[in-house]
Copies of this chain bind each other. A is one copy, B any other.
Amino acid sequence: MTELITAVETVDVRFPTSADLDGSDAMNPEPDYSGAYVTIRTNRGAAGHGLAFTVGRGNDVQVAAVHALAELVVGQPVEEILSDLGGFSRRLTGDSQLRWLGPEKGVIHMAAAAIVNAMWDLYGRREGKPVWRLLSEMTPEQLVDLVDFRYLEDALTRQEALDILRRSEPGRAERTSRLLREGFPAYTTTPGWLGYSDEKLVRLSRQAVADGFPQIKLKVGASIEDDVRRMRLAREAVGPDIRIAVDANQAWGVPQAIAWMKRLASYDPYWIEEPTSPDDILGHALIREMVAPIKVATGEHTHNQVMFKQLLQAGSLDILQMDASRTAGVTENVAILLLAAKFGIPVCPHAGGLGLCEMVQHLAMFDYVAVAGTHEDRVIEYVDHLHEHFTDPVRLRGGRYLAPTAAGLSAELRPESLAAHTFPTGAVWDRKVPA
């Protein structure tokens, strides 16, 4: 009996995080961390889990987009998909009618991410390996076959991608051992949410240093006077040697971003994240030129590999922040890691939200072992929200992510969490009205 995909189930899950202003920033004052949670099932009882992250209202639209793509997947043979995951991704993003909804952007692309990630989870479970390790043991040829080069060849050819992967091939085994022993560096955004009091900011900043994090991040962009005060308090709390990144979450226009960062410069911010519209490639390039040596970081809302290609070509960023479910999942992120390696730009994945830490750790660790071959200048974002709802939550020690050892992509929700947070029928929402 051929193994076939029998179901692509999708659940609207939402967590009422707005109640505590966890996750509050200049553009997202009251997020309810949510996801279109996907489970792919086969007729042999196998399953894989993925999700597309959203911040509350509209998660039902995200679920509708998954349903639309699911029709392309149900009934397909599993072996055929796993032997050509690049082709699978191209079928999802290239459907001649559905691509009109993007193309390759917005909810339809995030829906592709949830499905692609669920297939990688299924693949990892089948092979008994965490996805970072599964990727790290693929040959350069297999990895390059995942990439859709149609729109990339003016920046990265198949041959160049192969060369990058072959260069780092000899050290894979050694870096794998080291990763398992020492973990991967992290930074924490926990102290810096915009809705937190000064007292909470200072307390959590000190805690972050005590926990061993080399870097914290503050949200900025609502009020310059507040930002100057909060930056000063944070700098006093952590001392001169801990990096402080700041994140404007797209609040500014280009001239305003430059002016604002001049005001904050005396407190030595390490990077400014999302200073303006995520679509503004040329704007980021100008900001980067004007605020140097402060670095520019962006990527969590960069919607596909064509946009990342241009951010790199235009010299718009110092730090590339890939996201687990904004672009089309693990497969497209392999292409983005290769682009970043070609241009010599470090990848520090965006995380937090719901399950993003769990998923992106696999990408950063694969990058370390088999693509960039280093974690110098690389840190994975860490936020201590909602991990308890996952069956394989991230583990941190001394400010570092420990490498996951369980099979899959670590994106499976615990059944009781899934039931309680299903919107609007779960127990948590039964008692609340959403913000």
Contacts and interface: CB of A to CB of B under 8 A. Distances in A.
Contacts of A65: 58, 61, 107
A43 interface: no
A265 interface: no
A68 B59 CA distance: 9
A107 B104 contact: no
B106 A109 contact: yes
A96 B28 contact: yes
A154 interface: yes
A310 B286 contact: no
A253 B151 contact: yes
A199 to B, nearest CB: 25
A130 interface: no
A231 to B, nearest CB: 23
A150 B277 CA distance: 9
Nearest to A27: B96
A254 B149 CA distance: 11
A295 to B, nearest CB: 20
A29 B96 CA distance: 7
Contacts of A310: 279-283
Given A28-B100, A31-B97, A101-B106, A253 B61 contact: no
A251 B313 CA distance: 22
Given A106-B108, A277-B306, A97 B56 contact: yes
Copies of this subunit: 2
B54 A279 contact: no
Given A61-B68, A310-B282, A30 B103 contact: no
A303 interface: yes
Contacts of A228: none
Given A64-B64, A101-B107, A106-B107, A253 B149 contact: yes
B277 A58 contact: no
A397 interface: no
A57 interface: yes
A100 B154 contact: no
A281 B309 CA distance: 11
A99 B98 CA distance: 21
A301 B304 CA distance: 14
Interface in A87-144: 95-110
A316 B99 CA distance: 23
19 contacts: A28-B97, A28-B100, A31-B100, A56-B97, A56-B100, A57-B71, A58-B108, A60-B68, A61-B65, A61-B101, A61-B108, A64-B64, A65-B107, A103-B250, A104-B279, A106-B106, A107-B107, A153-B256, A282-B313
Interface of A: 27-32, 54-58, 60-62, 64-65, 68, 71, 95-110, 149-154, 250, 253-256, 276-283, 286, 301, 303-304, 306-307, 309-310, 313-314, 435
Given A153-B256, A279-B310, 19 more contacts: A29-B96, A30-B97, A31-B100, A56-B100, A57-B95, A57-B97, A97-B435, A104-B277, A105-B106, A105-B303, A106-B106, A106-B107, A107-B107, A151-B254, A151-B280, A152-B253, A279-B304, A280-B306, A281-B310
